[in-house]
Chain A
Amino acid sequence: MSSPILLRGSIRRRLIIQLLVGAALLATLMFLVVQRYARDLAGQSQDEILAASVTAILDSAAVRQGDLTVDIPYFAFSMLGNISEDRVFYAIRRNGSFLTGYPDLPKPFAASGSTPRFQTDTYDGEDIRMATATRRLSVEGQPDFIEVTVAQTRYGLRQQLAAISQTVAGFGIGFFVLSALFGILAAQSAIRPLRRLAESVSRRGLADLRPVSAPVPAEMEALVRALNGFMSRLKTSLTRSEDLIAEAAHRVRTPLATVRTQAEITLRRVDKPENRQAVREMIRAIDESSRAAGQLLDHAMVSFRSDHLELEDVEIARLVRETVDRVHPTADLRDIDLVLRLPEATMRVKGDPILMQSALLNLLDNAIKYSPADSCVHVSARITDQEAVITVRDEGAGFPKTDMGRLTRRFVRGSNTDAVVGSGLGLTIAHEVARAHGGRLFLTNHNEEGGACASLSFPLA
């Protein structure tokens, strides 16, 4: 029925992916920035404590009895042990020559001044951070430079950084998961109006071509406008073609009546059996055409009235009786009894009596057409909690089981109906009338041997 729809991408998926990528980028950025900041901070605190150590040692340098002494204070090193369990190295040089400590410690960059300078180097196969400061003393009138270097490995720093990284990574992942969740929710809610519109359009009846009236977000204005315009054009074109069909049917029917009369006159004049047969077939074809034209007109009428439904109180029993009266002559022709069974109670529904009559007429017409001669067609009405149901049952072959679902479509005929004149519009008309009234048409077979059974239901007033 519907051609396959080509799909390329998904708005929701694209939205989610874009939001996820954004969130991942943000989370990574946050991680890198915080980690960088933490590294600077941790490095800074190590530098500060190294500087304090160097200063403490320099402060202990003094000239005693004409000679330079350096008395390393205990806390100069013990404070380095307070923040981490890093290895500590030091070197004290006097006028550039080694005095005490670790002689092979890397030489600091040449510089002077008492503010400590820092550098990163390797010693004994490990990364170290070094702080160096120089102080000028005067020994017996001669300038004397003392240079102190204190170095520390960077385990503590790395451990601290690893711990911070882990925490920040946890935060980053949490942030990502949270924003991913929000992203998915946002994507869902963004496409919800679209899905709602699609649902409301697909829920519509075939003939419902009214414009969309529910409010939609601004972004969908163009789509809805286009959809409404399209539907209105479709409706115009549909109406025009129905008008055309009705007009055509009407124009065909009148000349056909004339042709039929002429054919019957001719039949009476013809004697040769083969000629008579040809004329009979001609008449039959004319009947078929005429009937089809009639039903096309009926259908056009039903379509029109369904679109502009004018409801009034309808009494079901009276409607059934009147309609059955109208088909009596046809039934009599084939010796078919119309058995009527109606309840005592009044059954009132809101409806268009002309449409309802047309629907029932079509069902009765079908029943009589497909019944064997000299049989009964049973017409009954009953009332349930919410609806009034009119049932027409014949004693014919019944509906072919395989066709049940599609018999109400236009111009679809049962697979066992070749011998009978018909257009395939009767059940369609009944179906459309029932639907216009909020009711249903349902088709069953009475029993295994057949006997088609068609029921029309209308909701009670």
Chain B
Amino acid sequence: MRKSVLSLGLIVLGAILGLLLGPLAAPAQAFEIEDQISVGPADARRVLRVLSTGDAELFEETIRDFLATLPDVRVDYIVASSAELMRAVGNGDAKADLVMSSATDLQTKLVNDGRAQRYSSPVTSRLPDWARWRDHLFAFTQEPAAIVLSRKALADLPMPENRQELIALMRDHPERFQGKVGTYDIRASGLGYLFATQDARTSETFWRLSEVMGSLGVKLYCCSSQMIEEVSDGRLAVAYNVLGSYARANGDPAEVVVMLPQDYTIIMLRTAFIPRESTQPGLAGLFIDHLISRGWQAAPGAVSVAEENAWTDEAQALRRIRMGPGLLVYLDALKKAAFLAEWSSAILQ
């Protein structure tokens, strides 16, 4: 594969450079990098450093599109967990020109705490009000939190359409679900924590569901992709709060059902902002414009922010996460500790 060859080449090049320059090389990254790709000429005049929580292979195509008209630009795409990203950008150590994340709450807090700079363009001004905050933070995808069910595991059981039905189903048939229920480990996953807190503030049903899942020996995961994989091969019967877009794109429709609960469906917004220390704010702005018009195609199954009425036929009660100071509440240290304690006692029994 071309990409891996390129990456390998870069890694080798980087290693050689590192050996040659030794002490002159840039100081070690202040945060843990999960993955990194570079797209564009190695000797590019301008380099855009993008720090993101999204998988590199998903966004590579979008980056190539972006560079099609910019021959002298290279994009370094660095993947980190949302917690690492939060810490690095919060400390000002990230040295990134653009920050992209699915953890809308953490992004909002970074902007609120003054880590971002203002940007506005004809593209951003066309965004609906809910898709931008303070002209600092811009949403470029909408992705629903879904419940993913295995057809094989449910077999003859009726397909639940909301949380109440799912709770009833699991209570009535514990033998079918014992050890086959999965959800995010919200202690580890920023997105999982965001989904859980939005659930908790929307409805008390969440706590009942958590208790039922806890009683069935729930398995906890770091990422949506893993849960979808396990539902697909029947290891899991139910995965709760999975990125519906991923599930749609990666799950085999013959094996998995992606259900947007009808009582309410949380819609996550993938967002981007330009950090204050960005050395290429102009280029980063162009990339934001590009993400707004094309970026939703990168995240599988995601919907453009231009589509205000997506999914209205499937789930009636859409809860789009609202960017704003409200999201700071569950990031408060005391509040977070209390929430995690409550969640743990419900789910870890």
A169 surroundings in chain B (CB, below 8 A): none
| Shortest beta-carbon distance from A147 to chain B in Å | 15
Contact mask A150-172 → B, CB, 8 Å, 1/0?
Answer: 00000100000000000000000
Is there contact, CB below 8 Å, between B338 and A69?
Answer: yes
B334 interface contact, C-beta 8 A: yes
Is there contact, CB below 8 Å, between A73 and B325?
Answer: no
B14 interface contact, C-beta 8 A: no
Q: How many angstroms from the CA of A73 to the CA of B325 in the assembled complex?
A: 12
**Residue from B325, B328, B330 having most chain A Cβ neighbours under 10 A:** B325
Chain A 59-101 residues near chain B, CB threshold 8 A: 69-78, 80-81, 85-88, 92, 99-101
Is there contact, CB below 8 Å, between A78 and B134?
Answer: no
Q: List 22 contacting pairs A-B, 8 Å CB cutoff, sorted by A.
A: A69-B334, A69-B338, A70-B334, A72-B335, A73-B329, A74-B330, A75-B326, A77-B328, A78-B324, A81-B325, A85-B133, A86-B325, A87-B112, A87-B114, A87-B325, A88-B328, A99-B334, A100-B332, A101-B332, A124-B113, A124-B114, A126-B114
Q: How many angstroms from the CA of A117 to the CA of B180 in the assembled complex?
A: 54
Q: How many angstroms from the CA of A320 to the CA of B136 in the assembled complex?
A: 106
Question: Which residue numbers of B lie inside 8 Å of A, CB to CB?
Answer: 111-114, 133-134, 201, 322, 324-326, 328-330, 332-335, 338
B335 surroundings in chain A (CB, below 8 A): 71-72, 100
19 further contact pairs, Cβ within 8 A, besides A78-B329, A100-B334: A69-B334, A71-B338, A72-B334, A73-B329, A75-B326, A76-B329, A77-B325, A78-B322, A78-B325, A81-B322, A81-B324, A85-B134, A87-B113, A87-B114, A87-B134, A88-B325, A99-B334, A100-B332, A155-B134
Instruction: Give A123's nearest chain B residue, CB to CB.
Output: B114
The secondary structure that dominates the A interface is: mixed
| Shortest beta-carbon distance from A79 to chain B in Å | 8
Instruction: Give B323's nearest chain A residue, CB to CB.
Output: A81
Is there contact, CB below 8 Å, between B114 and A74?
Answer: no
| Shortest beta-carbon distance from B147 to chain A in Å | 23
Q: How many angstroms from the CA of A71 to the CA of B335 in the assembled complex?
A: 6
| Shortest beta-carbon distance from B109 to chain A in Å | 10
Contact pick for A74, options B134, B326, B334, B338, CB 8 Å: B326
The 8 closest A-B pairs by CB, nearest first: A78-B326, A81-B324, A88-B325, A77-B325, A100-B334, A85-B134, A81-B325, A124-B114
| Shortest beta-carbon distance from A279 to chain B in Å | 113
A92 surroundings in chain B (CB, below 8 A): 334
Number of chain A interface residues as a range: 20 to 34
Is there contact, CB below 8 Å, between B133 and A72?
Answer: no
A81 surroundings in chain B (CB, below 8 A): 322, 324-326
Q: How many angstroms from the CA of A402 to the CA of B133 in the assembled complex?
A: 89
Is there contact, CB below 8 Å, between B333 and A100?
Answer: yes
Q: How many angstroms from the CA of A145 to the CA of B117 in the assembled complex?
A: 38
Q: How many angstroms from the CA of A155 to the CA of B111 in the assembled complex?
A: 14
Instruction: Give B202's nearest chain A residue, CB to CB.
Output: A74
A77 surroundings in chain B (CB, below 8 A): 324-326, 328-329
Q: A78-B322, A85-B324 are in contact. Are A72 and B329 (CB under 8 A)?
A: yes
A73 surroundings in chain B (CB, below 8 A): 329
B324 surroundings in chain A (CB, below 8 A): 77-78, 80-81, 85
Q: How many angstroms from the CA of A99 to the CA of B338 in the assembled complex?
A: 14
Chain A 39-77 residues near chain B, CB threshold 8 A: 69-77
Q: How many angstroms from the CA of A338 to the CA of B329 in the assembled complex?
A: 125
Q: How many angstroms from the CA of A311 to the CA of B333 in the assembled complex?
A: 116
Q: How many angstroms from the CA of A75 to the CA of B324 in the assembled complex?
A: 11
Q: How many angstroms from the CA of A125 to the CA of B322 in the assembled complex?
A: 26
Is there contact, CB below 8 Å, between A80 and B325?
Answer: yes
Instruction: Give A80's nearest chain B residue, CB to CB.
Output: B325
Q: How many angstroms from the CA of A70 to the CA of B326 in the assembled complex?
A: 16
A124 surroundings in chain B (CB, below 8 A): 113-114
Contact pick for A72, options B112, B134, B322, B332, CB 8 Å: B332
A87 surroundings in chain B (CB, below 8 A): 111-114, 134, 325
Chain A 118-157 residues near chain B, CB threshold 8 A: 124-126, 155
Contact pick for A88, options B112, B333, B334, B338, CB 8 Å: B112
Q: A85-B324, A88-B112 are in contact. Are A74 and B329 (CB under 8 A)?
A: yes
B332 surroundings in chain A (CB, below 8 A): 72, 100-101
Q: How many angstroms from the CA of A243 to the CA of B97 in the assembled complex?
A: 109
Q: How many angstroms from the CA of A72 to the CA of B329 in the assembled complex?
A: 6
| Shortest beta-carbon distance from A107 to chain B in Å | 19
A99 surroundings in chain B (CB, below 8 A): 334
Is there contact, CB below 8 Å, between B201 and A74?
Answer: yes
Instruction: Give A87's nearest chain B residue, CB to CB.
Output: B112
A69 surroundings in chain B (CB, below 8 A): 334, 338
A88 surroundings in chain B (CB, below 8 A): 112, 325, 328
| Shortest beta-carbon distance from B273 to chain A in Å | 13
Q: How many angstroms from the CA of A402 to the CA of B134 in the assembled complex?
A: 86
